[in-house]
Amino acid sequence: MTIDNLPFIVAAYASCFGALGLYVWSLARRRRDGE
């Protein structure tokens, strides 16, 4: 099965959930460091 534009779809979902994951991690770190 071939999925058209697969690299674009992967890039979009990876950048979206990667950025959201980084933000959740940064909030946890700021909370832990007592910022």
Q: Total residues at the site for other proteins (CB under 8 A)?
A: 21
Q: How far is the CB of 20 from other proteins (least distance, A)?
A: 7
Should residue 20 be labelled a site residue for other proteins when binding is judged by CB under 8 A? yes
Should residue 11 be labelled a site residue for other proteins when binding is judged by CB under 8 A? yes
CA distance 14 to 22: 12
Contact yes or no for 9/3 (Cβ under 8 A): yes
3-state helix, strand, coil split of the chain in percent (to 5) is 75, 0, 25
Provide the binding-site residues for other proteins, judged by CB under 8 A: 3-6, 8-9, 11-13, 15-16, 19-20, 23-24, 27-28, 30-31, 34-35
